[in-house]
A and B are shown apart, each in its own frame.
Chain A
Amino acid sequence: MTTQETPKACPAAEHPPACTAPASADPAASATKTTRRDFLKAGGMLSLSSLMGTAALMAQTDDAHAAAEWAEHFQKNYRLMTDAEKAEARTRLEKRYSAEYGKPVSVDTTGPQPGMLMGYALNIRKCIGCRRCVHACVEENNQSRGPRPGEKIEWIQVLRMERGKFEQEKMNQGYPEGLGIQVGGNAYTPAGAVLEGQYHYNPEKVPEADATYMPIACMQCEKPPCVKVCPVRTTYREADGPVVIDYNWCIGCKMCMNACPYWARRFNLTTPVLPKEEMNPVTHYLGNRPRMRGVVEKCHWCLQRTRHGRYPACVEVCPVGARKFGNLLDPESEVSLILARKNVFRLKAELNTFPKFFYFYD
């Protein structure tokens, strides 16, 4: 194995219980006066050395690589694997990813920790719509980022909601029109298309005076409709809260995408476009490891980080501290305190999905 060549990254063979951010793609780490491009360039140089090492590896182990892929086809559903099978699957993946991306890649299989129930809270008053969370998420979680429409995947959407207002000139615009029924003027200026909002906005500066922002992503429901409809039980709720997907077991039937009321799930229409130098090598089996063509993916609250006591990338990068994450079972955690003291609400609560993602305001 040549995977030990790069000094900075976690050795793939040792199971890293608390792997401290090697070459993390999260911009907060690189925020020390470097632009994102510089950062990526540096990352590229860093991985170049290991690339040369792995080039040899790839040339030799072509058969081994094919065999690893072949074996992947026959592995069981992750939940039903014994520890030995999990370790085997993990080694197989680490080998394949390391060869594919030309750098040592670790695939974490840490399970849920007892006494932990992850929760999330978002202060919609504070969000300024900068969308740094969206980009940090893409970089941390190895989403596809190709040029074609089907190749670009983002898990977080920040909805831009127009501030409506009542206007004198619109007092006579009845709603609904016709039939001679006066229901009051439609003087309130409503908003656009997306939840009365819009996430394809591109302003010079944020926050904009005439807008508020509402970020959404997977709500990690306690009663997730997506889990109920999965015909192969490849998506399920983990004991510590997040709803995860075994990408190797997913058959791509997309029923979960029909069922999700928050449009949190994305489909890999083609093989994800993930440049070697941009790939985040610290991965989790149920989290951000590179996905394949034809499977569904979504936010998993950065399992590769949160299972080791770190914040999700979006929480870490948020410049205004709008995003809070913590243990719902710990009364002193930030989310618990927010639930105790602030006014909170859940999105589409009427659907009884019981999200563990709460919105609040000061």
Chain B
Amino acid sequence: MHQLISFTSDYTRYVLKGGTKFYAWMGSLSVLILAMFYVFYLQNTDGLIVTGMTSQISDGLYLANLVFLVGVAAGAVTIVFPAYVYHHEGMHKVAVLGEMLAISAVIMVMVFVFAHMGRPDRLWHMIPPRGIYSFSSMLGWDVMVLNGYLVLNAICGFYYLWCKYTGNPVNRKWFIPLVYVAIAWALSIHTVTAFLMANNPARPMWFHSMMPIRFIATAFAAGPALIILIFLVIRKNTSFWVDDSAIKLLTTIVQFCLGIAIFLTLSEVVVELYARTEHANGLYYLMFGLHGLTGLVPWFWSSVVLMVGAFVMLFMPSFRNDFNKLQIPCAMAFAGIWIEKGMGLIVPGYIPSPIGEVTEYHPSFVEWLLTLGIWAFGFFILTILLKGAIGILLGEVKYGGQAAAAK
């Protein structure tokens, strides 16, 4: 008990102290978080009319980010898997950081769930015993697996940190099985999210069985791409050293999965556009526009350029091996997949509508603001979690040690 109190207080004190750069970063995130609360207030007084959503296009930016971030959360498994299954030395050292990323991403997903709902005040309707849980609903399953993933990662991550902090050995008897469960669970969250979209015959753009594997492939490209970017920031700004071997393995994973994602996209394009039935209208609208409406065309082609560009760049040793330049293809892959899975997948599912009406979706200013705010909220949490984890890994926060001196 005494250990727990000192853990909490040491951890809190450590993560709250920092240099000017740290406070500037957290301060600017806080401004965006305030904006987030303001837009939440608007949405829960005026309603979702303040967004660009309509009865035709009933979901947009929020669902897009939700789907993408589930992928980022699942992508954390690209660290945990090599670390615990293949005992990769460099990965094992940083596995807990992956778990911290997963926690932050799942929290962001949950805030996006709130954002896209008409009545977030009634969320308790989903929770038994007072509420009703429906096993036939994919959204019900999605909420369940996401919460499970959050709990698993919180347990695995913080138990590991706790052991490091107190100096006790990790109890491998239940810890390792739990890590394996978390690895399988990571696949489940994104698969269920894919089913959430794909199980709708009413929406031909989503209604194909390629969706889960495509989601996993893009997730395992976007997730590690973000992790590489974060690792490079950590190497630059803290005394914590992420091994080259870890970054190199992640780079390989990004490239392979990016290649698979591009291949799957191309397959879809060929299959849909060869016959060009009415069911291809959504994809056609996305790629070329339909009935003179071309709102998503620049999105699609910029995503293609970003993804293919990143894939090609990762072939070049000058990018792959130079950690100053590696950020470029990683950022490109991340942005490309954000578009491909977000605006490029969710929105054309609604265009044309099931009765064939073609309308366009223009996210409103507050919609962008809320999206940005939720990302800022996520990065706020991520910064705290990573800072705490690194402090413990470095031994700067330690049970019995003098009050942690943060730098």
A residues contacting B by CB (< 8 A) are 73, 76-77, 80, 148-151, 153, 157, 159, 176, 193-197, 199, 216, 225, 228-234, 249-255, 257-263, 265-271, 293-296, 351
Contacts and interface: CB of A to CB of B under 8 A. Distances in A.
Contact of B49 (A157, A254, A269): A269
B402 interface: no
B126 A263 contact: no
A254 B134 contact: no
B48 A232 contact: no
Given A77-B125, A193-B358, A229 B201 contact: no
Contacts of A232: 122, 125-126, 131-132, 134
A157 B355 CA distance: 10
B119 interface: yes
Contact of A151 (B49, B116, B201, B352): B49
A108 to B, nearest CB: 24
B202 interface: yes
A233 B132 contact: yes
Interface string B216-228: 0000000000000
A51 to B, nearest CB: 26
B123 interface: yes
A292 B15 CA distance: 44
Interface string B113-126: 00011111111011
B125 A251 contact: yes
Interface string B52-96: 011110110000000000000000000000000000000000000
B17 interface: no
Contact of A193 (B49, B58, B196, B357): B357
B175 to A, nearest CB: 33
Closest 7 CB pairs of A and B: A252-B118, A294-B118, A270-B47, A261-B202, A270-B49, A269-B49, A231-B137
Contact of A267 (B55, B199, B349): B55
B54 A159 contact: no
A255 B126 CA distance: 14
A252 B117 contact: yes
B239 to A, nearest CB: 46
17 contacts: A150-B55, A157-B355, A216-B355, A225-B201, A229-B137, A230-B137, A250-B118, A251-B118, A251-B122, A253-B117, A253-B118, A254-B118, A255-B138, A258-B202, A262-B355, A267-B55, A270-B46
Interface string B278-311: 0000000000000100000000000000000000
A194, A216, A262, A267 — most chain B CB neighbours (10 Å): A267
Interface in B26-63: 46-49, 53-56, 58-59
B325 interface: no
Given A250-B122, A294-B47, A193 B200 contact: no
A154 B87 CA distance: 60
A78 to B, nearest CB: 11
A58 to B, nearest CB: 21
Given A150-B55, A231-B137, 20 more contacts: A76-B130, A150-B49, A176-B276, A193-B358, A199-B357, A231-B140, A232-B131, A233-B134, A250-B118, A251-B118, A251-B119, A252-B119, A254-B116, A257-B58, A261-B202, A267-B53, A269-B53, A270-B47, A271-B47, A294-B118
A230 B134 contact: yes
A259 B202 contact: yes
A193 B132 contact: no
B136 interface: yes
Given A150-B54, A194-B357, A231 B202 contact: no
A325 B131 CA distance: 36
Contacts of A229: 136-139, 199-200
B55 A196 contact: no
Given A268-B118, A351-B201, A293 B47 contact: yes
Contacts of A250: 118-119, 122
Interface in B108-158: 116-123, 125-126, 130-134, 136-140, 143
Contacts of A269: 47-49, 53-55
A266 B55 contact: yes
B384 to A, nearest CB: 30
B356 interface: yes
Contacts of B140: 231
B194 to A, nearest CB: 14
Contact of A195 (B125, B132, B136, B355): B355
B354 A261 contact: yes
Contacts of B252: none
Contacts of B214: none
B353 interface: yes
Contacts of B117: 251-253, 294
A254 B125 contact: no
Interface string B168-204: 0000000000000000000000000000110111110
A225 to B, nearest CB: 7
Contacts of A262: 202, 354-355
Contacts of A197: 356
A159 B352 CA distance: 15
Nearest to A77: B132
A177 to B, nearest CB: 11
Contacts of B48: 150, 252, 267, 269-270, 294
A23 B202 CA distance: 39
Nearest to B275: A176
Given A77-B125, A150-B54, A254 B59 contact: yes
Contacts of A295: 118-119
A159, A233, A251, A258 — most chain B CB neighbours (10 Å): A258
Contacts of B133: 231
A231 B139 CA distance: 6
B196 to A, nearest CB: 8
A42 B107 CA distance: 55
A231 B49 contact: no
Nearest to A234: B125
B221 to A, nearest CB: 26
B348 to A, nearest CB: 13
B47, B59, B123, B276 — most chain A CB neighbours (10 Å): B47
